[in-house]
Amino acid sequence: MTTHAHLSPRAAVLVWAFLVSATLGSAWLAEHHAFAGSLTAVFVMLVAFCKGFAIMRYFMELRGAPLNWRLAFGIWGVAATALIIGLWVWTARGG
Amino acid sequence: MNDVAQAQGSESAAPIIRSGQVPGVLVFIIADMIVFCMLFVGFMTERMGQTALFDQSAATLDVRMGVFNTLILVTSGLCVVLAVHAAHAGRREATRRWLLVSFLIGAGFGVTKLLEYSAKIELGITMHTNDFYMFYYALTGAHFLHFIGGMIALAVLWFMVGREPLDGRLAGLVESGALYWHMVDLLWIFIFPMLYLLGPR
């Protein structure tokens, strides 16, 4: 049993502000490819992972869920990001 | 009557996400997300053999539309968080209001997605154009069906909260609907960069 309180409206708005900033930031990065160069795709997917993690942890309130649920969703996030980045890198290196 | 319902809501609304039980909605959500993850792998594997074609096709997608859709979903997701908060506090009117706002903002995703599809179809771009567009329509189409399911869930919950006492059971249903709606958001968070942003623009 955990003692986490519900996410307060104020904290929810802060998480939303992060999600909006990260979305605009990664789109800007993708449209200005020269900034991060060939690693742009990696950065963009890492930002997606952070956004997904924030949604799972705060919006879905998994931070207060039993360990097995936190693990299941956490593994999904890591696996989805790692597979997309891994296959992108493999392709970029001439796979 | 309303006060009784409010008292029931505040006392008995144990959040399902923290219970020791296995909430059915979480099983459904994780199974669905695993299927989408396999589609992601399918897309990335297919991209390996046709990188130039995939990057060229991805560059024709409208990033601003994708960004706008992401902003719509995360904002609608915030409203659903506030609806769950109100439901567990037993505040019926606030719960209904946030569910309605979430629905109305979420509807914007449907409008922009249909505009995007119609623009592509007008240009003669369909599922059969090439493998990239096959995945584009399949992934965004499957996601769109989940979006429609989420919109129906929000509408049904809005209706139920107006008709039934906001007790622990109904607050749990609002939380289940909210979890599903966040999954729609979460999947789009991965689909959008994978389809739109991986290649040079």
State the complex-level ipTM.
0.93
Structure tokens at B161: 């909260």
What are the φ/ψ torsions at residue A8 (nearest 5 degrees)?
A: -75, 155
CB spacing of A66 vs B200 below 8 angstroms: no
pLDDT confidence bin for B200, thresholds 50/70/90? confident
| B21 Cβ contact partners less than 8 Å away, ≥ 6 residues apart | none
Distance between A36 CA and the closest CA of chain B, angstroms: 11
CB spacing of B30 vs A1 below 8 angstroms: no
CB spacing of B17 vs A65 below 8 angstroms: yes
**Tell me: the pLDDT tens digits for B136-163?**
999 999 999 999 999 999 999 999 999 9
Distance from C-alpha of B201 to C-alpha of B191, rounded to nearest angstrom: 17
Centre a 10 Å sphere on the Cβ of residue B106 and count the other Cβ atoms it contains: 23
A59 and B CB contact within 8 Å: yes
Distance from C-alpha of B133 to C-alpha of B187, rounded to nearest angstrom: 18
What is the CA angle B106-A73-A6, rounded to 5?
65
Q: Which CATH superfamily is B20-197 part of?
A: Cytochrome c oxidase, subunit III, four-helix bundle (1.20.120.80)
| pLDDT over 80 (residue B105) | yes
- Helix (H) / strand (E) element for A23: namely helix A9-31
CB spacing of A19 vs B74 below 8 angstroms: yes
Kindly identify which residue of chain B lies nearest to residue A30, measuring between CA atoms.
Answer: B197
Q: What pLDDT, on the 0 to 100 scale, is given for residue A47?
A: 96
Q: What pLDDT, on the 0 to 100 scale, is given for residue B108?
A: 97
Q: What is the pTM of this model?
A: 0.91
| pLDDT over 60 (residue A80) | yes
Look at residues B125, B146, B148, B149 and name the one whose alpha carbon lies nearest to residue B137: B125
Domain boundaries, chain B: 20-197
Q: Coil, helix or strand for B201?
A: coil
Domain boundaries, chain A: 9-92
**Tell me: the pLDDT tens digits for A31-55?**
887 666 778 899 999 999 999 999 9
Which of B29, B190, B191, B201 should one mutate to test binding to chain A, selecting the residue with the greatest count of A CBs within 10 A?
A: B190
Amino acid of residue A10? R
Distance between B24 CA and the closest CA of chain A, angstroms: 12
